[in-house]
C-alpha cells in the first residue's frame, strides 16, 4: 500500500482516497510574473511523479494546477517592463508549459488562471462576509475585504501554529505577499478594492476590485474540483501562510475538510546556497541543456532524491547522476539484446522481481532514489546473465516490458 508523509498530521499514512477509484490532486502552481527556474521544476516534478504513481496503481486522477497571473507582484513587474499584465504573464506561462513538455511533466487536467475565477472568489467572499469571518475595511482609499483568522477554529493547523501566541492587538496585512518566510500574524486580505486609475479590476457584487492571492487558490480549486480533495501539494514555502489561508477559506465556507493529505517539496540549493536572483545563482532549464545535458538527464537529477528534503545542485552532481542514468540505459539495451533460448532459474526469479522492488520503495513516500537503485541492481544482474547466455530473449523482453511499465512513472528510461 502506498504510504505518504502527511504534513498536516506529521506522520506517514496509508493513501486512502475519498472515492475508491478516483483521486483529486491540487498542485500549487507558479506565480507567472516571472519565468520558473529549475528549483520550481523540482517541485512540479515530484508532483508529476505523485500523479503518475497514483495512476500506475490504478486510480483515475483529476489534477489541477493554479496559475497566479493577477497579484501585486505581476502588476508591479508589468509596469516596470512597460507591458500589460496579460502580456507579461501569458509569455511566462507559455515558457512554463514548453518546459513541461521538455521535462515530460504531464500537463494537469485543469490549468487554471487566477483571472478566470473572479466569480468564484466573489462567491466565497460573500459567504465569508455573511458568516462574519470576513469584513470590509477601507485602506488608502481602497474598499478592501479581510479575513479574521481568529473567527476560524483550527486556523494554522497545517503549519502547526500555536494560536495562543497570536497577537492580542488587531493587525491588518494589506499586500498579497510579504518578503521572507515569517508568518503575518494578523488579518489577511481577500479583496483589493480598486481606485479610479487602477487597471486590473472587475466590477462585481462586492464592489470594483480584484481577488487577493490569499483566496485565489481556494477559488480555483473549489470551482473545478469541489470543496473536498485528496491531496494538496506544493513547495515547502507554501506551508507558511499560503496553504493555511487556502484551508481557512475553503473550510470556513463548506464546513468540510479541504484536503486529507498535504505534501510539500524541499528547496533546491545551488552550491549550498538557496537559489535566488539576489545571489545571482538562478538556473533555468536551458542553462543546463546549453552545456550539453539532455532533458531526461535534468529530469533524472531533479527526481533522484527524497522529494521533501533539500537538494543541492552542483555541476559535478549533475554530471554524476547523468552518468548513472546513461549507464543504466546502456545495461537496459544490453539486456534487450539477449539472444539465448533458455533462462536459468535465477534469471526467471530476477525478472519477476523487477517491478516488485520498484513498488516496494515507491510505496514508501515515493522514494524514487531507492526505487531506481533497486532497478539498477536488478538490471546489472540481468546483464551479467545475458553475457553468460543465462537469460532467454523471451524473458529479457519480459523484463523490458516491466521497465516500460515502471517508466510510465519515471519517464527517464525510454
pLDDT digits 0-9 by tens, 12-30: 999 999 988 999 999 999 9
Bridge-based pairing of strands 22-27 and 60-67 is: parallel
Residues contacting residue 333 through CB under 8 Å, at least 6 positions apart = none
Confidence of residue 279 (pLDDT cuts 50, 70, 90): confident
Residue spans per domain, the chain: 3-265, 270-410
Residue 43: CB partners within 8 Å, gap ≥ 6? 234, 235, 265
List, for residues 344-397, the tens digit of each pLDDT value. 999 999 999 999 999 999 999 999 999 999 999 999 999 999 999 999 999 999
Q: What is the pLDDT of residues 285-328, one digit of tens each?
A: 999 999 999 999 999 999 999 999 999 999 999 999 999 999 99
Question: How many angstroms separate the CA atoms of 272 and 22, rounded?
Answer: 40
Across 185-210, average pLDDT: 96
**Degrees, nearest 5: CA angle 92-97-101:** 145
Task: Please list the residues that pair with 65 across neighbouring strands.
Answer: 27, 111
337 pLDDT higher than 70:
yes
What is each CA distance from 138 to 192, 212, 395, in whole angstroms?
A: 10, 15, 73
* pLDDT bucket at 179, cuts 50 / 70 / 90: confident
| 396, burial (CB in 10 Å: exposed 0-12, middle 13-18, buried 19+) | buried
Above 70 in pLDDT, residue 403? yes
Q: Do domains 3-265 and 270-410 have the same CATH topology?
A: no
pLDDT at 409: 98
Please give the pLDDT value at position 182: 82
**Residue whose C-alpha is closest to residue 237's, from 273, 279, 277, 265:** 265
- Helix, strand, or coil here: 53? helix
**Model pLDDT for residues 105-158, shown as the tens digit of each residue:** 999 999 999 999 999 999 999 999 999 999 999 999 999 999 999 999 999 999
Q: Is there a contact between 390 and 344 (Cβ–Cβ < 8 Å)?
A: yes
> pLDDT tens for residues 56-67?
999 999 999 999
Residue 181's pLDDT band, with cuts at 50, 70 and 90, is low
Beta-bridge mates of residue 187: 172
β pairing state of 3-6 and 273-274: unpaired
- Rounded Cα–Cα distance for residues 77 and 34 (Å): 8
- Considering only the top CATH level, what class is 3-265? alpha beta
Which pTM was predicted? Answer: 0.96
Q: What confidence score (pLDDT) does residue 170 get?
A: 95
CATH number of this structure's domain 270-410: 1.10.730
Distances (CA, A) of 226 to 38, 198, 404: 31, 32, 34
Is the pLDDT at 180 greater than 90? The verdict is no
pLDDT the model gives residue 178? 87
The three grid cell numbers given for residue 274, joined into one nine-digit string: 538557496
**pLDDT computed for residue 355 by the predictor:** 95
User: Angle at Cα 46 formed by Cα 41 and Cα 49, nearest 5°?
Assistant: 120
Amino acid at each position: 500500500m502506498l504510504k505518504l508523509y502527511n504534513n498536516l498530521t506529521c506522520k506517514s499514512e496509508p493513501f486512502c482516497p475519498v472515492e475508491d477509484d478516483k483521486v483529486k490532486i491540487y498542485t500549487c502552481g507558479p506565480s507567472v510574473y516571472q519565468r520558473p527556474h529549475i528549483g520550481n521544476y523540482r517541485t512540479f516534478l515530484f508532483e508529476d511523479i505523485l500523479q503518475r504513481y497514483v495512476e500506475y496503481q490504478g486510480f483515475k486522477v483529476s489534477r489541477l494546477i493554479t496559475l497566479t497571473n493577477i497579484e501585486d507582484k505581476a502588476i508591479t513587474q508589468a509596469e516596470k517592463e512597460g507591458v500589460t499584465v496579460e502580456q507579461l504573464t501569458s509569455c511566462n506561462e507559455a515558457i512554463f508549459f514548453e518546459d513541461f513538455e521538455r521535462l515530460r511533466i504531464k500537463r494537469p487536467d485543469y490549468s487554471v488562471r487566477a483571472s478566470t475565477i473572479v466569480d468564484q472568489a466573489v462567491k466565497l467572499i460573500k459567504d465569508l462576509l455573511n458568516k462574519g469571518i470576513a469584513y470590509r475595511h477601507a485602506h488608502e482609499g481602497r474598499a478592501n475585504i479581510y479575513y479574521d483568522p481568529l473567527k476560524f477554529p483550527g486556523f494554522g493547523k497545517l503549519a502547526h501554529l500555536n494560536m495562543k501566541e497570536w497577537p492580542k492587538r488587531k493587525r491588518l496585512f494589506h499586500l498579497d505577499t510579504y518578503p521572507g518566510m515569517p508568518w503575518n500574524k494578523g488579518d489577511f486580505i481577500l479583496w483589493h478594492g480598486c481606485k479610479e486609475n487602477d487597471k486590473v479590476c472587475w466590477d462585481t457584487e462586492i464592489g470594483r476590485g480584484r481577488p487577493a492571492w490569499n483566496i485565489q487558490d481556494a477559488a480555483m480549486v473549489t470551482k473545478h474540483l469541489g470543496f473536498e480533495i485528496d491531496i494538496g501539494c506544493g513547495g515547502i514555502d507554501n506551508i507558511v501562510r499560503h496553504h493555511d489561508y487556502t484551508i481557512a477559506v475553503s473550510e470556513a465556507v463548506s464546513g468540510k475538510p479541504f484536503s486529507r493529505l498535504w505534501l510539500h517539496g524541499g528547496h533546491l540549493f545551488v552550491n549550498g546556497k538557496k537559489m535566488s536572483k539576489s545571489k545571482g545563482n538562478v538556473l533555468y532549464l536551458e542553462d543546463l541543456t546549453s552545456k550539453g545535458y539532455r532533458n531526461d538527464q535534468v529530469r533524472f537529477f531533479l527526481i533522484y532524491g527524497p522529494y521533501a528534503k533539500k537538494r543541492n545542485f552542483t555541476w559535478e552532481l549533475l554530471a554524476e547522476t547523468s552518468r548513472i542514468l546513461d549507464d543504466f540505459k546502456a545495461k537496459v539495451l544490453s539486456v534487450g539484446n539477449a539472444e539465448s533460448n533458455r533462462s536459468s532459474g535465477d534469471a526467471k526469479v530476477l525478472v519477476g522481481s523487477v517491478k516488485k522492488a520498484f513498488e516496494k520503495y515507491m510505496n514508501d513516500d515515493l522514494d524514487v532514489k531507492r526505487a531506481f537503485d533497486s532497478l539498477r541492481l536488478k538490471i546489472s544482474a540481468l546483464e551479467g546473465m545475458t553475457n553468460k547466455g543465462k537469460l532467454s530473449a523471451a524473458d529479457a523482453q519480459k523484463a523490458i516490458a516491466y521497465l516500460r511499465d515502471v517508466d510510465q512513472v519515471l519517464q527517464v528510461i525510454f
